[in-house]
Chains A and B, each alone.
Chain A
Amino acid sequence: MRRITIPIGPQHPLLKEPVSFLLDVEGEQVLDSVLRLGYVHRGIERLAQERSYVQIVHLVERVCGICSHVHTTTYCKAVESLMGLEVPERGVYLRALLCELERIHSHMLWLGVLAMNMGFDTVFMYAWRDREIVLDMMEDLSGGRVSHAVNVIGGVRIDLDEEQRKDMLARLAQLEQQVLRAKNVVEHERSLRARTEGIGILTPEQAKQYCVVGPVARASGLDMDLRRDMPHLPYSELDFEVITHDAGDVWARTLVRVLETVESVHLCRQILENLPDGPVSVRAKRRAPEGEAITRTEAPRGEVIYYVRGDGSESPARLKIRTPTLTTLITLPEQLRNVAVADVSVVLSGVDLCIACADR
């Protein structure tokens, strides 16, 4: 049979962001694929060298349009350790609260995208309807649904009063019911399982070789989560499970993400119930001393790593960002090999691509 090349992207109805896949296809089967990035490359790392430490908080918030808060958290932690600042405990807890709300938001958005790409519009609509609860909570906390601008170097700029705290707890209970319903659908709905089981397999060995992180790694049996593995507040004082699965297919990824959403709801509740009193931030200097710092944080898609080198001036000499999507993108040629053309959309959705993150 004749081999043909099917281009998917850079502009394609299947993709929400521009990226290019060239699929080498024989009949219905994908034999190989070539990936090309850079269509939303904004040069954020280069731009950061010309901005002040305070301005960069807003710059890195725009690395990702879904998990914006985790980027500013990771950046602020790096700069705070360069400047020798200690964030007050209440500030640390509020940062983590928003991180967990963002994880719920990201995973529910992803469930909707996966369902839509496999033609299961009911799940898409329910998932996105229920995501509104968490978006409203974030809006009440910070004033923004997606870009929160909550972090400042030295802490956070928001605080909760008692009434807000009780209101958040009540809405969490409502959210939990909806998340458990989504979990029930993922576990038992037969058409969803039929489309995702055995598709896009990444074995534990491949996941290790490609240094994959986050839910994709955990669905391939790698038991890694920086919230537990790198003991830091508030996670060292909270009780949660790291969800893993050993099937390595799209269904395992779906299940891992949905169960993680349930864990995140528990985490939010624990944070709200154990919120320490006190200030939320400390005053930061404009300049960081000469030196380097590396921080790693567990974003919704896995490990985010920031490297900052200060040279004593008001802006860093180097800011390096590695987002988790870059680790999963590299495995797509393996996952797409021998997959039917009709399943390409499921495989591409399964890894939860964030191209803007990967391009920076």
Chain B
Amino acid sequence: MTARKDSAIDPPHYESGAIKEQIVPALQTAFPDDILDVQTMPVDETVTVVRVEGVRQIIRHLVEELDVLHLSTITGQEIEEGIELLYHFWRGSGLTLRVVLPLDALEVATVTDIIPGAAFYEREIVEMLGVTFAGHQDPLRLFLPDDWDGPPPLRKERS
């Protein structure tokens, strides 16, 4: 057995224009109410702003219908309007879903049953920012010590 240089198994190196030309228009057609805006970000990243209620359905559609399988990570950050989550996907170029959770309702549906690889990223956001992922099977601490009782460390102190 020798290493093969070209894999026959489903080569995921896609054409780089697919996100902009096919996938974002397909999402806009399928979810006209949930997609609020389409933006760009350097380097070569397309950003779609998404309603909280629609995130799960959109990600399911991306994985099951549009073959966007690779979730690079989820970034969470506190901004003026609340907690912003950025789901960074990759298929030949970057696709980011931007969701804003208001500070009085920090809950969003989990995607770990659709993408098992999201489990650690969601757990990190649970402990670092205090967001709840409804339906997460194992929302235990991953990085923080067991006896940590301070506020989520990446939150800003607000008086």
- Listed in ascending order, the chain A residues whose CB lies under 8 Å from chain B are 36-38, 41, 43, 45-46, 77-78, 81-82, 187, 204, 208-212, 221-225, 228-231, 241-247, 252, 255-256, 259, 291-296, 303, 305, 307, 309, 317-318, 320, 322, 326-327, 329-330, 359
Complex contacts, B93 vs chain A, CB 8 Å: 230
Residue on A nearest B14 in the bound complex, by CB = A229
Inter-subunit contact A229/B13 (CB<8 Å): yes
**Smallest CB–CB gap between A156 and chain B, Å?**
19
- B 96-131 binary contact with A (CB < 8 Å = 1; else 0): 100000000000000000011111110000000000
A interface SS class:
mixed
A223: contacting residue among B11, B72, B88, CB under 8 A:
B11
With the chains together, A295 CA to B94 CA distance in Å?
A: 9
Stretch at the interface among B1-9, B26-34, B48-56: B1-9
Known: A223-B6, A294-B45. A46 touches B154 (CB 8 A): yes
B77: contacting residue among A209, A228, A309, CB under 8 A:
A309
A43: contacting residue among B2, B94, B96, B153, CB under 8 A:
B153
**Smallest CB–CB gap between A334 and chain B, Å?**
9
Inter-subunit contact B41/A292 (CB<8 Å): yes
Inter-subunit contact B145/A38 (CB<8 Å): yes
With the chains together, A292 CA to B121 CA distance in Å?
A: 20
Known: A211-B117, A293-B42, A329-B120. A37 touches B143 (CB 8 A): yes
**Smallest CB–CB gap between B68 and chain A, Å?**
11
With the chains together, A241 CA to B6 CA distance in Å?
A: 9
- Listed in ascending order, the chain B residues whose CB lies under 8 Å from chain A are 1-14, 16, 41-45, 69-73, 75, 77, 86, 88, 90, 92-94, 96, 115-121, 141-145, 153-154
Known: A82-B42, A243-B3, A246-B4. A210 touches B116 (CB 8 A): yes
Residue on A nearest B75 in the bound complex, by CB = A320
With the chains together, A37 CA to B128 CA distance in Å?
A: 14
B12: contacting residue among A210, A223, A241, A256, CB under 8 A:
A223
A208: contacting residue among B4, B43, B69, CB under 8 A:
B69
Complex contacts, B45 vs chain A, CB 8 Å: 294
Residue on B nearest A330 in the bound complex, by CB = B120
